[in-house]
Chains A and B, each alone.
Chain A
Amino acid sequence: MFKRLRSLFRVLTRRRDFEDGMTEELRFHIEQYADDLVQSGMSPEKAARQARMEFGSLESAKGDCREERGLHLFDEFRRELSYAVRLLRKTPGFTATALLTLAVCLGANLTIFAVIDSVLLRPLPFPDSNRLMTIFNTYPKAGVERDGSSLTNYYERRGHIPAFTSLAIYSYGTEIIGEPGSTEREQTMRVSPDFFTTLGLGPVIGRTFTEEETTSQTDHVAILSDAFWRQRYNADPNVIGKQIRVNSVPRTVIGVLPPAFRFLSSDARVFLPLASRPEDRTPLRRHSGGNVIQMIARLKPDATLQQAQSQLDAQNAALEVDDPQAKMIADAGFRSLVVSLQADHVAAIRPTLLLLQAGAIALLLIGAVNLVNLLLVRASGRVKELAVRQALGASRGYVVSEVVVETTLLTLAGGLLGLAVGYGGIHLLRVLGADRLPLGSRIAFDMRLALVSLVTAVIMGIVFAAPVAWFNLRRHLGNALQSESRGGTSGRAPQFLRHSFVVSQIALAFMLLAGAGLLGLSLQRVMAVSPGFQSDHILTGQILLPWADYSDVARLAFIEKLLDNVSHLPGVLSAGVVNNVPFSGHNGKSAANVAGHVLRPGESARGHYSYGVAGDYFRAMGFSLRAGRFLTVDDSRRSERVCVVDEDFARYYWPNASAIGQRLWDGSEAGKDAEAFTVVGVVGGVKQAGLTEDEAQGAIYYPYAFRIDASFFVGARTSLPPESLGLGLQKVVRQIDPDIPVNDLRSMETRIADSLVARRSPALLAGLFSCIALLLTAVGTYGVLSYAVARRRREIGLRMALGAQPGQIRSQFFYLSLRLLAGGTALGFIGAWLTGQAMQAVLFHVPALNLAILAGAMCVMGLVSLAACLLPSHRAARISPMDALAEE
Chain B
Amino acid sequence: MGKTAELLPGTLDMLILKAVSLKPLHGYGVLLRIRQISKDALEIPQGSLYPALYRLEHDDLIAAEWGQSENNRRAKYYRLTAAGRRRLRDETAGWNRLASAIAAALNTTSEEV
Contact = CB atoms under 8 A, between A and B. Distances in A.
B51 A29 contact: no
Given A21-B76, A24-B74, A28-B26, A60 B47 contact: yes
Contacts of A61: 47-48, 50-51
Interface residues of A, number: 26
Given A7-B60, A32-B69, A56 B50 contact: no
A69 B54 contact: yes
A64 B60 contact: no
Interface string A42-80: 000000000000111100110011011110000000000
A833 interface: no
Interface in B70-86: 71, 73-76
**A4, A21, A57, A64 pick with most chain B CB within 10 angstroms:** A64
A70 B57 CA distance: 13
A68 B58 contact: yes
B40 interface: no
B51 A67 contact: yes
Contact of B59 (A4, A26, A57, A60): A4
Contacts of A69: 54, 58
Interface in A1-31: 3-4, 7-8, 21-22, 24-26, 28-29
Nearest to B52: A68
Contacts of A70: 58
A815 to B, nearest CB: 64
A28 B73 contact: yes
B63 to A, nearest CB: 11
B87 interface: no
Interface string A276-317: 000000000000000000000000000000000000000000
Contacts of A7: 57-58, 60
Nearest to B83: A3
Interface string B32-58: 000000000000011110111011011
Contacts of B48: 61, 64
B47 A4 contact: no
A155 interface: no
Contact of B50 (A4, A25, A54): A25
Given A21-B76, A67-B51, A68-B51, A29 B58 contact: no
A471 interface: no
Contacts of A8: 58
A3 B55 CA distance: 12
Contacts of A64: 47-48, 50-51
Given A7-B58, A21-B76, A68-B54, A29 B47 contact: no
B51 A33 contact: no
A28 B74 contact: yes
B28 A56 contact: no
B24 interface: no
A25 B49 CA distance: 12
A57 B47 contact: yes
A28 B46 CA distance: 13
A32 B57 CA distance: 22
A26 B76 CA distance: 10
Nearest to B71: A35
B69 A54 contact: no
Nearest to B75: A28
A70 B54 CA distance: 11
Contacts of B74: 24, 28
B58 A55 contact: no
A29 B54 contact: no
A139 to B, nearest CB: 77
Contacts of A54: 46
B50 A65 contact: yes
A32 to B, nearest CB: 5
Interface in A497-533: none
A65 B51 contact: yes
Contact of A68 (B47, B55, B73): B55
Interface in A743-802: none
Identify whether the interface residues of A are mostly helix, strand, loop, or mixed: helix
Interface residues of B, number: 24
Contacts of A57: 47
B60 A29 contact: no
Given A3-B60, A7-B60, A26 B69 contact: no
Contacts of A4: 58-59
B50 A26 contact: yes
A31 B2 CA distance: 26
Nearest to B45: A56
Contact of A29 (B28, B45, B57, B59): B28
**A32, A35, A69 pick with most chain B CB within 10 angstroms:** A32
Contacts of B60: 3, 7
Nearest to A11: B58
Nearest to A21: B76
Interface in B1-49: 26-28, 31, 45-48
A3 B59 contact: yes
Contacts of A33: 28, 46
A152 B11 CA distance: 89
Nearest to B73: A28
Contacts of A55: 46-47
Contacts of B75: 25, 28
Nearest to B27: A29
A33 to B, nearest CB: 6
Given A4-B59, A7-B60, A32-B69, A25 B51 contact: no
Given A32-B28, A68-B54, A69-B58, A25 B76 contact: yes
Contacts of B59: 3-4
A373 to B, nearest CB: 45
Interface string A793-818: 00000000000000000000000000
A65 B49 CA distance: 10
B58 to A, nearest CB: 5
Contacts of A28: 26-28, 69, 73-76
Contacts of B46: 29, 33, 54-56
A344 to B, nearest CB: 60
Contacts of A24: 74, 76
Nearest to B46: A55
A24 B64 CA distance: 14
Contacts of A67: 51
A70 B51 CA distance: 12
B7 to A, nearest CB: 15
A60 to B, nearest CB: 7
B110 to A, nearest CB: 46
A363 B27 CA distance: 61
Nearest to A32: B28
Interface in A317-332: none
A128 B36 CA distance: 74
Contact of A56 (B47, B54, B66, B71): B47
A776 B55 CA distance: 52
A677 B55 CA distance: 100
A25 B57 CA distance: 14
Nearest to A51: B46
A54 B75 CA distance: 20
21 contacts: A4-B59, A7-B57, A7-B58, A7-B60, A21-B66, A25-B75, A28-B27, A28-B28, A28-B69, A28-B73, A28-B76, A32-B69, A54-B46, A55-B46, A55-B47, A56-B46, A64-B47, A64-B51, A65-B51, A68-B54, A69-B54
Given A7-B60, A29-B31, A35-B71, 17 more contacts: A4-B59, A8-B58, A24-B74, A24-B76, A25-B27, A25-B75, A25-B76, A28-B26, A28-B75, A29-B28, A29-B46, A29-B50, A32-B28, A56-B46, A61-B50, A64-B48, A65-B54
- Counting from the closest, the 5 A-B pairs by CB-CB distance are A64-B51, A56-B47, A68-B55, A68-B54, A65-B54
